[in-house]
Structure 1
Amino acid sequence: MRAALLLPMLWAAVASVQAQSDQAPPSGALPFVGTQVPGRPLAGSMALPALIAPGQQPQVPPKAGDPHSILPQPPAGKVAIGMSARFGDNDPFIPRGLVWRIFADRPEASGAYPLVAEAADPAPVFFLSPGGYVVHVSYGLASVARRIVVGEESRREQLLLSAGGVTLHSDVSDKPIPAQKVTYDIFEGSFLQGRAASRPFYRGANSGELIVLPAGSYYVVSTYGEGNAVIQADVAVAPGKVTDATLHHRAGEIALRLVKVAGGDPLPDTQWSVLTPGGDSVKESINTLPTFVLAEGEYTAVARYEGKTYTKEFTVESGKDGPVEVMLGEQVAPPSLDATEGSGD
């Protein structure tokens, strides 16, 4: 696992995620608790900052590369507020991938917080009337908000958005697993320390996909194939960096075949089950030639064909793929297995 500085490719990943979340919060929902991504949990929640009185509003001094060293003249009755975001105090400004929304800080009679303005520029300037607002900025699945009071003078506002990226890969016996054969679910917390969330923060990530997340600790569940090859690993996401993590599976891909003679053609209309040594079902299939990825260990293949059941014990070794042939008539299962019905897939 390694971390690299946040590269330009991160911006494209952010744009992809923002395309899914580029909707205003639903009516009645607080606009400063994160952006709901379809099928995923909230991007994050944050405490509402205390309201700052107009006379106590801090002025942000310009820094090198400040996009708002000079603010434009606002229209009459308005004030220019220049917005920008950083990963940290000493990090450069985030140059793209941000979505800004400005809400009134008081709800309407319906309970909804009115959306006043929005922008997808990295450093927008909003012309606002004096009053209270909530500024919300999202970046991928990370977001932050600040409650501000606009007075009579134009000024700059800089938000710290603690976000980073992660790319996930898997291998078996030091050989990369093809991207289409592995998926990932990302949970908040730590699996190793027993502080794991029960619901995924991000579900169904693909191998090699760059995912932008709030900085923090996560654990990843990697699922290889359609058997029981599932492993977990903790991952740390640092602000402004991309963590490249590789999860090491110990599994093999096996193809089940019921044949009359060794190396013969597989018999059609065969139903299959794979059992552990204790008799627990791992996988079932109604396909004639099923292929499963199984964690290394010992198993029993059960084939049902023309009213009879045949079994064969076999061992899966990590990184060793190949067929498992069950010979017709070689070993007939006891009646208890004959009576077992497979659910199929």
Structure 2
Amino acid sequence: MASSETANTRQVPVMMCRYFSAVLAAALLLVVATGIPPAVAQGAGNWSTDLDLKPPPGSAATPQESPATGPGRAGQRPAAGGAGTTVVKKKTNEPPLQEGMARLTLVALLTADGQRIEQDLVWRIFEESREPRTAGKLIGTHKIASPVLTLPPGTYTINAAFGRANLTRKITVAAGVEATEPFVLNAGGLRVRLAAAASGMESMKAFFDILSDERDQSGERRIIFSHAKPDTVIRLNSGIYHVVSTLGDANATVESDVTVESGKLTEATISHKAGRVTLKLVTRQGGEALPDTEWSVLTEEGTSVKTSVGALPTHILAPGKYVAVAKSQGRVFRRAFEIANGETIQVEVMRQ
């Protein structure tokens, strides 16, 4: 009897295993019959989210509009994520226009073909002036590419500046109107380079001034940009400009007219002719330079070229003939000298 009970007990697990196997097989047949697809990895391209990911610590802050002019334009670049990170811009919409107000979107174009300027812009908005030839009150400054302004109806003077290139327009807006105003700056770039011969002689002390092509009633040109460094791109409105390049701090200058075209970079190479001179007041030939000496460099005609104070002043001069004048302890000493292009000389003035 005990033997029979033991046999029955051993058969229970076997029957249960057969039962669950049958259930599992039936479930699999049901899956196949109903066409339920197996699970697959979903591509990131099919995801949708409205999350606005914050930039990592230390990243540059996004420029903000001033409260007086309304919300900024959507489409600013999101913060860059790391490898495998998907940055999604938050979907935003402009709020409803306030009753009695106007909305104006400003866009700057490099040329008339529609190439937009996306950085380094400064917008200034002025109220209408009641006095001719004078600017009204400044009511807003924006340093983003395309500001969106909410303004009361009226006439405004708006200036768009891109480097030294700029455009000023008068714009009238009406209540309830939403408009986009393009500003075609017709801007180009100018880069001045030094020729190899000049670049080896105090090139760090070289600079150039950009002046207008036209002259005023006094015959003077208007200064557009002063003390620009070589190899620097200066943004300008298209047109003709007069460039004055100076090597050193004296009279080694070169002047030239250049033409800047819209949407193009104009490169001008300047070739200077100059020499370097060091002045020295001594009591004997080859002696030690005397300190606290006042110096003047004059042309042969007596025109002052450069003044300085010290024991060993050094200047870059245009090739030619000069007179070195040294003043020490109430006495004046002179010596004529000549310098050629590319020459480096030392002029000793004897104190006798």
How many aligned residue pairs are there?
255
Equivalent residue for 1:165, pick from 189, 193, 202? 189
How do 1:296-335 and structure 2 match up within 5 A?
Answer: 296-304=319-327, 309-327=332-350
**Matched residue, 2:213:** 189
Unaligned runs of 5+ in 2: 1-91
**Are the structure 2 counterparts of residues 306 and 154 from structure 1 closer, same or farther at C-alpha, using a change threshold of 3 Å?**
closer
2:192 maps to a residue whose letter is L
Aligned residue for 1:166, secondary structure, equals: strand
Unaligned runs of 5+ in 1: 1-69, 330-345
2:278 maps to a residue whose letter is A
**Matched residue, 1:101:** 124
**Are the structure 2 counterparts of residues 141 and 307 from structure 1 closer, same or farther at C-alpha, using a change threshold of 3 Å?**
closer
User: Does the 8 Å contact 2:198/2:272 carry over to 1?
Assistant: no
User: In the aligned structure 2, how far is the partner of 1:316 from the partner of 1:220?
Assistant: 25
**Matched residue, 1:204:** 227
**Are the structure 2 counterparts of residues 174 and 224 from structure 1 closer, same or farther at C-alpha, using a change threshold of 3 Å?**
closer
Greater CA drift, 130-139 or 300-309: 300-309
2:295 maps to a residue whose letter is W
User: In the aligned structure 1, how far is the partner of 2:156 from the partner of 2:303?
Assistant: 58
User: In the aligned structure 2, how far is the partner of 1:303 from the partner of 1:115?
Assistant: 54
Q: From the two aligned structures, give the one with the greater helix fraction.
A: 2
User: In the aligned structure 2, how far is the partner of 1:128 from the partner of 1:244?
Assistant: 42
**Matched residue, 1:75:** 97
What is the deviation of 1:138?
A: 2.0
Q: Which has the higher contact order (CA 8 A, sep 6+)?
A: 1
User: Does the 8 Å contact 1:189/1:197 carry over to 2?
Assistant: no
User: In the aligned structure 2, how far is the partner of 1:270 from the partner of 1:153?
Assistant: 72
What is the deviation of 1:98?
A: 1.7
TM-score normalised to structure 2 length: 0.61
Aligned residue for 1:263, secondary structure, equals: coil
**Matched residue, 1:123:** 146
TM-score normalised to structure 1 length: 0.62
**Are the structure 2 counterparts of residues 85 and 309 from structure 1 closer, same or farther at C-alpha, using a change threshold of 3 Å?**
closer
User: Does the 8 Å contact 1:107/1:114 carry over to 2?
Assistant: no
User: Does the 8 Å contact 2:207/2:247 carry over to 1?
Assistant: yes
- Max radius of gyration: which structure? 2
**Are the structure 2 counterparts of residues 138 and 275 from structure 1 closer, same or farther at C-alpha, using a change threshold of 3 Å?**
closer
**Are the structure 2 counterparts of residues 157 and 289 from structure 1 closer, same or farther at C-alpha, using a change threshold of 3 Å?**
same
1:140 and 2:163 aligned: yes
**Matched residue, 1:63:** none
User: Does the 8 Å contact 2:203/2:247 carry over to 1?
Assistant: no
